[in-house]
Structure formats: C-alpha cells, structure tokens
Amino acid sequence: MKYIEKLRNSGLRPTKQRLQICEVLFNTDKTFHFTINELEQKIKKQANNKISLATLYNTVHAFEKKGYLKQIPINSSETYFDTNVTDHHHFYDLKEEKLIDLENSDVGPINILKKINGKKIKSVEVLVKLED
Amino acid sequence: MKYIEKLRNSGLRPTKQRLQICEVLFNTDKTFHFTINELEQKIKKQANNKISLATLYNTVHAFEKKGYLKQIPINSSETYFDTNVTDHHHFYDLKEEKLIDLENSDVGPINILKKINGKKIKSVEVLVKLED
DNA sequence: ATAGTAGTTTATAATGATTCTAAAAAACTG
DNA sequence: CAGTTTTTTAGAATCATTATAAACTACTAT
Ligand SMILES: [Mn+2]
Ligand SMILES: [Mn+2]
Ligand SMILES: [Zn+2]
Ligand SMILES: [Zn+2]
C-alpha cells in the first residue's frame, strides 16, 4: 500500500479506515472538492462499507493539519475541503452550490501591497461567485 | 429619522427594531465587520435594550438581500457580515479571528479570464489569511 | 379614527453540522 | 505475547442558525 508510508511519516498509524480514506481522496488523477457527508457517501459506495462520522471528521482534520487537504473559505451550511492543496482559486456556483477550480493563469498574479505588523501572509485565495 | 425612507423604499416597514439596527450598523463614519452575536451585544450596550435573536437574524438577512450588508466568505464558527458593501477584499487574522479591510488599491485589479457557460460573475473576493 | 389585513417580533422548539466522551478495538513496542 | 498508546465508534452534547406560531404593530381603506 502506497499510503502506509505517507501516514507513518506523518505520525499517523495506518489504520484500515485511514487507508480507505486515502484511497478515496488521493488515489485519483483529478483533485476534487468535498464535504464530510459527501465523503461518507463516496466511501459507502466505493468501498462498500462504513466509516463512522467521528472518524471522518478526525481524519479529515488530521489530514488538513498535515497539509494533505485544504479547507475552502466559503459560507455554506457544510464545510468544503479540497484535495488540491496547491495555491489556486475558485468559482462558486451559487445556484448549484458547486465549486470549480480556477487555474492561477485564469486569475493572474495577486500582489498584496498592504502589510500588517508582525503578521505573515499564509494564503491568498480568490472566490468568484457565479449566478445565472 | 433618516432610515425610515430607506426601509420603506426597500419594502420593509420601519419598525422600532429595524431603525435601531440601522442606527447601530449604518450611523457611523467607519464601516465594520460583525457577527450576529456581536451585533446583539452592541445593541444591548448602545441602545440599552434587547432585540430578539430571531429579529436580528431576520433583519440582517433582509438587509443582506437588499444589498445593505454583505456576507464575508470565511470558515469560522460564526458568520461574518460587513457594512462595507463596496467591492473590497479582506485580511483574516487567524489568531485573533479578526477581519481587516483591504482597499482595492492594496490588491490591484483582478481579471478573471475563465468563463463558465451561462453564468455571470456576481463577485470577486480575495481573502488573505494572516499568521504570526 | 376604526377595522381589517398584512407584515413583524418574539419566545421557544427544531435542525443539523460539528465536537465531545468514554469505552471497545486496533496498532505498536519490546 | 503483554503492556501501552492510539484510534475508532456510537451516542450525547454543543451551538449557530432556522422554523413555528402566537402576540403585536404598521399600514390601508373605509
Ligand atoms: Mn472543521
Ligand atoms: Mn445566514
Ligand atoms: Zn480547488
Ligand atoms: Zn470589509
């Protein structure tokens, strides 16, 4: 299993559940966006078994802390996560409630001129809301 | 009262509660960011009386729909609103959990090149996360 | 003004995403 | 294997937000 090392190197024991979550999240060409509940559904189908919500929350937050997932800043009833952890931006289709990646070349470089004393910039994210 | 007209023009009856909320939100030189609970506190102090949470939620959402308030896309436990409804961007201080306005001149123009069929761009917002 | 009606406020309940708890299970270490 | 630590899990708790429905208020038409 290719995720055992990854988990061990992160100080996380490679449990059956975590490996399964890795498969669903990372064993794919395309990156994608998901909510915890969508992840739960996906695992039910794709792996044909169930992982408790508590574990899904725990694992997703652990992966986020390790930098394997990103949380997308958006006001929705559910939190969205992104398996694409590179710096990139998003469309948010308000009607469909769906996120779409924007390549950096679709937005161009953003140069923040203002500085706040004693603070470092951690991320710069653009959210483009779409309506019909 | 200068807000009676504004409310009537928006199809909202100028009630005591709404006028009070208008005073707190709009009768000031500086725009600001707030959560519903901060607004509740502010009204308790500034007006020395209480407006029910239900009314605060209703009114804030009504004002948002009319374009007098903006919701700020951010993942926080509480929803942030902004009395500055012009197009502008934000710093978010992760430690202090505080929002700071960025002028457009601090960010520069953002030109979204990608188009989605049948969708219009409603807003373009930059969120800059700050850490120590 | 008065009566009628449509809109508003409010306390309170319901909802639902997320977090907490604590006991059982699994992974590791020697 | 025995001992220890970490993880999983069901279920409870939390808490922001929304729904409910009864009392109240603002407006409209007589
Ligand atoms: Mn979270
Ligand atoms: Mn809201
Ligand atoms: Zn993305
Ligand atoms: Zn602002």
pLDDT tens digits along A29-75: 999 999 999 999 999 999 889 999 999 999 999 999 999 999 999 99
Beta carbons of B91 and A116 less than 8 angstroms apart: yes
Spatial CB neighbours of B45, under 8 Å, sequence gap ≥ 6: none
CA A61, CA A42: separation in Å to the nearest integer?
18
CA A26 / C1′ D9 distance in Å: 24
Task: From B123, B31, B124, B16, select the one nearest B69 (Cα to Cα).
Answer: B31
Q: What is the pLDDT of residue A132?
A: 86
Fold assignment, B2-82: Arc Repressor Mutant, subunit A (1.10.10)
DSSP one-letter string for A84-123 = --SS-EEEEETTTTEEEEE-HHHH---------TT-EEEE
Q: What is the pLDDT of residue A6?
A: 94
Can you give the residue ranges of every domain in chain B? 2-82, 89-130
**Could you report the per-residue pLDDT of B44-62, keeping only the tens digit for each?**
999 889 999 999 999 999 9
Is A93 close to B119, i.e. CB distance below 8 A?
Answer: yes
Interface contacts (A, B; CB < 8 Å): 117
CA A36 / C1′ D27 distance in Å: 48
CA B9, CA A78: separation in Å to the nearest integer?
35
Among the bound ligands, name the one nearest to the CA of residue B69.
4
- Please give the structure tokens belonging to residue B65: 């729909």
